[in-house]
Chains A and B, each alone.
Chain A
Amino acid sequence: DTAVSQTPKYLVTQMGNDKSIKCEQNLGHDTMYWYKQDSKKFLKIMFSYNNKELIINETVPNRFSPKSPDKAHLNLHINSLELGDSAVYFCASSRQALGEQYFGPGTRLTVT
């Protein structure tokens, strides 16, 4: 009964490749997020979708493109991967107007 799930859990790929990470939540929330956690454990918001509408788009290279096919899913596509993209990417969700965000288990991306 995983609330927020992500696939894959680990992703190892070479520079220049294009990859996607998928996220699904079964909490009935209408807002979903992508965060990036660097090697120093610092979590930083990348994107947020509310009811399939992009509401937060931080200063992220346009090689990163989120897509929300419906309220329960938020995917992250990354083009032309670079070494600096290596990090753990977390998906999260929340109910509108509330601050409690629930996180997925993370996707550990390693770019070689």
Chain B
Amino acid sequence: QKEVEQDPGPLSVPEGAIVSLNCTYSNSAFQYFMWYRQYSRKGPELLMYTYSSGNKEDGRFTAQVDKSSKYISLFIRDSQPSDSATYLCAMRAQGGRRALTFGSGTRLQVQP
């Protein structure tokens, strides 16, 4: 079983829809949680960064962390065709190793 599980999709939604992307994880030591967006043939781009449990909002993006359920989410409001990309969740424990453990990514397609 992988440490971080993420549905690969593809997830296809119409423009303007609210998108929900999720990851579950098994390592209770994870404290830092990130969402990256990766366009085809590009490097991952950091979207959201949260520490421990709670919500964080940035424009159309909201990240939620529920450590009790080991579950994190990324919501995209008013989705646009330009949001079409692969979304990767990533997480790491505090201190020690600084490497991120990634999910396998969810491919999102926003139809105009």
Residues of A at the B interface (CB closer than 8 Å) are 4, 31, 33, 40-45, 48, 50, 55-56, 58, 90, 94, 96, 99-106, 108
Contact = CB atoms under 8 A, between A and B. Distances in A.
A13 B34 CA distance: 35
Contacts of A90: 43-44
Given A42-B104, A99-B32, A48 B42 contact: no
Nearest to A58: B99
The secondary structure that dominates the A interface is strand
A43 to B, nearest CB: 4
7 contacts: A40-B104, A43-B88, A94-B98, A99-B32, A99-B92, A101-B34, A103-B44
A94 B92 CA distance: 13
A90 B43 CA distance: 7
A100 B99 contact: no
Contact of A105 (B8, B43, B99, B104): B43
Contacts of B105: 41-42
B45 A103 contact: yes
B104 A41 contact: yes
A43 B44 contact: yes
A42 B102 CA distance: 7
Given A90-B44, A100-B34, A105-B42, A56 B104 contact: no
Nearest to B91: A99
B46 A101 contact: yes
B32 A45 contact: no
A99 B97 contact: no
B86 interface: yes
B99 A45 contact: yes
Nearest to B99: A45
